Chains A and B, each alone.
Chain A
Amino acid sequence: MMDRLSRTALAGLALALVACLFLPLWRVALLAPQYPEGLGFYIWANRMSGDLRSINGLNHYIGMKQIVPESIPELRLMPWALGGLVLAGLGAAAWGRRKALVAWVSLLALGALAGLADFWRWGYDYGHDLDPTAAIKIPGMTYQPPLLGSKQLLNFHATSLPAAGGWIAFGVLALGIALIIRERRLARRPRPA
């Protein structure tokens, strides 16, 4: 069994994930000579915000598909997945078994990985599936945005980084792993009689 501190901490981590429902998870920022003030968009659990209209307008030159948040099913799924993780975390804390902690953290890690993989897949699709009649066609050029970090895409310098919600999710994952390590150490130590 986990000790009281670990169980409380696990419950706290699960609750911290609630913030991810109300904060942007990811931000993609675009800078170009004509856009010194920058363009960009945020990905939230259930929506996207920012300069999508302008970005879609520009993307039509290279034949990229319109980014239409309403047509992205993940934005409908993600709030449920996050909610499930919160409840599972609270359940694990209540149950108190170390196995439950490990299972929850693994689930969280898998969820994060799946999310990143999905984001990459969308990026790949937008960047490669281009309209053959587009005005600007550069042989060999594709426009997949970076998953994490920066990349030059024609005149735009694109930067992709976690936003507040994303940082919280990664923080929760890191602290969850720290909790597992703590529990392992406690398990190796003989219990006081």
Chain B
Amino acid sequence: MGGPRTWAALGLPSARQAGTAPASAGVSRGVSDRSNIYLLARVIEGEAADESYAGKVAVGAVIVNRVQSGSFPNSLAGVIYQPGAFESVSNGQYTRPVSRDSLRAAQEAVSGWDPTGGALFFWNPYKPVSPWIWTRPVVTQIGRHVFAL
């Protein structure tokens, strides 16, 4: 009775559970839905336009990790539009045109690549951030972003 999550983890992105798929299934790593990839790419562009390619994949991976985490909404749109979750979504910057790199990074993140090792948070330490964020266990820093579990 593997859920769609498990199946996506198997790398069968276009194979979906028929019939009894839970309503919460939504999108998970591996569902190569074009509109979802594009939505993800827009947020990557908004959050990490000036980052290296790996930095872009990392931001995409955090969003994909959130979809799979119990502590966040269970769909890609739910995670991205969770109020206040991403600065570029709150201030509308994520509607900028998407670069080819961001699109590729989004595809790579959805396909399962995760250079953050399962991170759920990222922030720019050179900008003022609220102190609670540093209570999260830091995984790594890529470019100007710190990634944490």
- Binding between chains A and B: no
Contact surface of B with A, Cβ cutoff 8 Å = none
Contact surface of A with B, Cβ cutoff 8 Å = none
